[in-house]
């Protein structure tokens, strides 16, 4: 772990947070019949898969889960070198009249979610769109809020939040450390 | 990457990035809204000095699916027919603020010249008998999606190699991506310098067919031929045309490709052209996704 970095959530705490979100989703959507989970690459995708499994365990029903890449809808494409695209996988059955729950690792400026909403509009017409995030670190730049939050983490702009997941990084953790130059790849902490 | 002039300029990573991006963008064609906002406010000029339906429409559709503004400029009915030089046309486009210029020209090297004159990205859509990079990329994309890989693939390119820009671009690209290319043609239809190309050469189609995973048939470009290169079309067709009988001697999962336009009865029989193993229409569909990928990668970043 680099100097000045500390773990805010460990693997067990991430699990507990996700389990709680799974229950909240079921509660808010009255059983989750119409729910489709869409993870935003890169780390939102394994989180959406985990939520789908947790919901399945509680309610004994499969929940469609997929991924939604927002690269082509970003508002900062011109100010950075060209980005590689992530995967978009819409579960069979589509999004029309579904309750789409967008899943991402960190909610920061809100710009990723804005792009995701635009992308959704081109893919279908969900009945409702909700947002689930593992960490809300504040500093919104757009009028956007999350419906389900794993952990509210008040941060300063001089800090960075890093989410590590078993599927992508080999272990589970949420780290808080000193700011680093904004990465040029998509996903991460916005 | 700023321009796309030759497939020889692409590294393996760059070429793979283009193919991967095209694979993602292929989904857009199946959606209810077949449009992405990515190149909103950017201008793409299609500068076509040679007749082309397929390539021009494909580029136009690709640019429009990315929300770019498209201006079509053809030699007929523009100031070019009044005698304006390529350079002056280029400077005019430059002054109008074109972000990308797609150029098709009968002179080899035209795209390279243009790239020195304009600030925007230049995409070579075919220059003389030199190169046609997006065709080679969409061919590679089609092979990869049909056969699952490119590394180690045995590809035969058959026909008028001498006048073909598709052949040269394919040899360069497929070699970079790890495939083995064999050119098959009568000696008169091979370029003099073919021994310097990174591929093998054969005069015998029947010997190459059983050892090929992909057979790419090329059209005999009669419009570029000012002397005779073979005795009769019938003899050419008998020696180098692909018919049902030859198709049956190819490996079972091998595919037949053609960059179009096909001349049925000449290099390809109607039976082969209509067979499910022939990927001609698939190549056209893939062309749009591939050109979207190239436009995105060249025009979207800073």
Predicted pLDDT of residue A186: 42
Which residue stretches of chain A have pLDDT < 50?
A: 184-189
Q: Are residues B14 and B78 in the same domain?
A: yes
Q: Are residues B145 and B53 in the same domain?
A: no
Q: Are residues B83 and B195 in the same domain?
A: no
Residue B1: inside a domain:
no
Contact B139, B259 (CB under 8 A): yes
Number of domains in chain A: 1
Q: Are residues B289 and B266 in the same domain?
A: no
Predicted pLDDT of residue B32: 81
Reply yes or no on whether the pLDDT at B78 is more than 80. Answer: no
Tell me the pLDDT tens digit for each residue of B210-257.
999 999 999 999 888 877 899 999 999 999 999 999 999 999 999 999
Predicted pLDDT of residue A185: 44
Beta strand pairing call for A6-10 and A173-178 = antiparallel
Residue A82: inside a domain:
yes
Find the chain B residues whose C-beta atoms sit closer than 8 A to any C-beta of A. Answer: 17, 20-21, 24-25, 27, 31-33, 35-38, 66, 296-297, 300-302
Predicted pLDDT of residue A183: 53
Predicted pLDDT of residue A182: 58
One-character DSSP codes across B234-250? HHHHHHH-B-HHHHHTS
Q: Are residues B106 and B150 in the same domain?
A: no
CB atoms within 10 A of CB B15: 22
Residue A179: inside a domain:
no
Q: Are residues B91 and B212 in the same domain?
A: no
B175 pLDDT band (50/70/90 cuts)?
very high
Q: Are residues B185 and B113 in the same domain?
A: no
Residue A172: inside a domain:
no
Query: Six-digit token pair at A184?
Result: 């040029």
Name B95's Cβ contacts closer than 8 Å, sequence gap at least 6: none
Tell me the pLDDT tens digit for each residue of A120-169.
999 999 999 999 999 999 999 999 999 999 999 999 999 999 999 999 99
Report the CATH number at residue B188: 3.40.50.1370
Query: Six-digit token pair at B277?
Result: 């193993």
Report the CATH number at residue A97: 3.40.50.2020
Residues of A in contact with B36 (CB under 8 A): 72-73, 122
Residue B2: inside a domain:
no
Residue A144: inside a domain:
yes
Number of domains in chain B: 2
B59/B290 Cα distance (integer angstroms): 10
Query: Six-digit token pair at B135?
Result: 């065709």
Could you write out the three-class secondary structure of B24-75? Answer: HHHHHHHCCCCCCCCCCCCEEEEEECCCCCHHHHHHHHHHHHCCCEEEEEEC
Is A73 in CB contact (< 8 Å) with chain B?
Answer: yes
Residue B35: inside a domain:
yes
* Placement of tokens 């916005």 in the chain: A190
**How far away is chain B from the Cα of A10, in angstroms, using its nearest Cα?**
34
Reply yes or no on whether the pLDDT at B75 is more than 90. Answer: no
Q: Are residues B103 and B140 in the same domain?
A: no
Residues of A in contact with B21 (CB under 8 A): 84-85
Q: To probe the interface with B, which of A77, A87, A92 has the most B CB atoms within 10 Å?
A: A77
Could you write out the three-class secondary structure of chain A? Answer: CCCCCEEEEEHHHHHHHHHHHHHHHHHHCCCCCCEEEEECCCCHHHHHHHHHHHHHHHHCCCCCEEECCCHHHCCCHHHCCCCCCCCCECCCCCCCCCEEEEEEEEECCCHHHHHHHHHHHHHCCCCEEEEEEEEECCCCCCCCCCCEEEEECCCCCCEEEEEECHHHHCCCEEEEEECCCCCCCCCCCC
Predicted pLDDT of residue A54: 97
Residue B69: inside a domain:
yes
**What domain range is B110 assigned to?**
7-132+284-299
Q: Are residues B189 and B149 in the same domain?
A: yes
Predicted pLDDT of residue B200: 96
Does the distance separating the beta carbons of B17 and A81 come in below 8 Å? no
Residues of B taking part in catalysis = 54-55, 82, 104, 132
A27/A38 Cα distance (integer angstroms): 18
Q: Are residues B271 and B288 in the same domain?
A: no
Reply yes or no on whether the pLDDT at B76 is more than 80. Answer: no
Residue A92: inside a domain:
yes
**What domain range is A18 assigned to?**
12-157
Does the distance separating the beta carbons of A81 and B302 come in below 8 Å? yes
Q: Please, what is the end-to-end C-alpha distance for chain B in angstroms?
A: 11
Query: Six-digit token pair at A62?
Result: 């499969």
Tell me the pLDDT tens digit for each residue of B148-157.
999 999 999 9
Residue B49: inside a domain:
yes
B73 by Cβ neighbours in 10 Å (0-12 / 13-18 / 19+) ranks as: buried
B208/B242 Cα distance (integer angstroms): 12
Predicted pLDDT of residue A29: 95
Q: Are residues B192 and B235 in the same domain?
A: yes
Residue A124: inside a domain:
yes
B221/B234 Cα distance (integer angstroms): 16
Residue A72: inside a domain:
yes
Residue A163: inside a domain:
no
């Amino acid at each position: 772990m680099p100097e000045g970095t500390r773990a805010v959530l460990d693997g067990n705490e991430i699990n507990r947070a996700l389990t709680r979100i799974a229950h909240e989703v079921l509660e808010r959507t009255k059983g989750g019949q119409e729910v489709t989970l869409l993870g935003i690459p890169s780390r939102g995708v394994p989180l959406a898969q985990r939520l789908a499994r947790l919901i399945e365990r509680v309610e004994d029903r499969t929940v469609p889960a997929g991924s939604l890449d927002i690269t082509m809808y970003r508002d900062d494409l011109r100010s950075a070198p060209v980005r590689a695209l992530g995967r978009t996988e819409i579960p069979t059955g589509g999004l029309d009249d579904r309750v789409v729950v967008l899943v991402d690792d960190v909610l920061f400026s809100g710009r990723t979610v804005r792009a995701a909403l635009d992308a959704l509009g081109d893919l279908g017409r969900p009945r409702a769109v909700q947002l689930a995030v593992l960490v809300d670190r504040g500093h919104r730049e757009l009028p956007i809020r999350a419906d389900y939050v794993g952990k509210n983490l008040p941060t300063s702009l001089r800090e960075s939040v890093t989410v590590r997941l078993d599927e992508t990084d080999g272990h589970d953790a949420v780290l808080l450390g000193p700011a680093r130059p904004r990465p040029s790849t998509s996903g991460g902490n916005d | 990457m700023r321009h796309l002039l030759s497939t020889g300029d692409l590294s393996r990573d760059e070429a793979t990035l283009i193919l991967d991006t095209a694979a993602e963008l292929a989904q857009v064609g199946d959606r209810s809204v077949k449009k992405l906002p990515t190149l909103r406010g950017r201008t793409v000029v299609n500068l076509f000095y040679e007749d082309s339906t397929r390539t021009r429409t494909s580029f136009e559709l690709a640019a429009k699916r990315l929300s770019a503004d498209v201006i079509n400029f053809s030699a007929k009915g523009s100031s070019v027919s009044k005698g304006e030089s390529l350079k002056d046309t280029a400077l005019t486009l430059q002054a109008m603020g074109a972000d990308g210029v797609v150029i098709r020209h009968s002179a080899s090297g035209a795209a390279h010249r243009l790239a020195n004159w304009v600030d925007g990205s230049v995409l070579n859509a075919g220059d003389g008998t030199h190169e046609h990079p997006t065709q080679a990329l969409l061919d590679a994309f089609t092979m990869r999606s049909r056969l699952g890989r490119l590394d180690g693939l045995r590809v035969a390119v058959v026909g008028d190699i001498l006048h073909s820009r598709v052949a040269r671009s394919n040899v360069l690209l497929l070699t970079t991506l790890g495939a083995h290319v064999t050119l098959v043609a009568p000696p008169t239809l091979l370029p003099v310098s073919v021994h310097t190309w990174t591929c093998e050469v054969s005069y015998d189609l029947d010997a190459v067919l059983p050892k090929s995973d992909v057979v790419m048939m090329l059209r005999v470009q009669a419009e570029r031929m000012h002397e005779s290169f073979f005795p009769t079309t019938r003899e050419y067709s008998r020696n180098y045309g692909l018919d049902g009988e030859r198709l049956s001697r190819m490996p079972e999962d091998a595919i037949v490709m053609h960059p179009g336009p096909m001349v049925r009865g000449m290099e390809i029989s109607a039976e082969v052209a209509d067979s499910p193993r022939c990927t001609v229409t698939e190549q056209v569909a893939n062309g749009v996704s591939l050109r979207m990928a190239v436009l995105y990668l060249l025009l979207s970043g800073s």
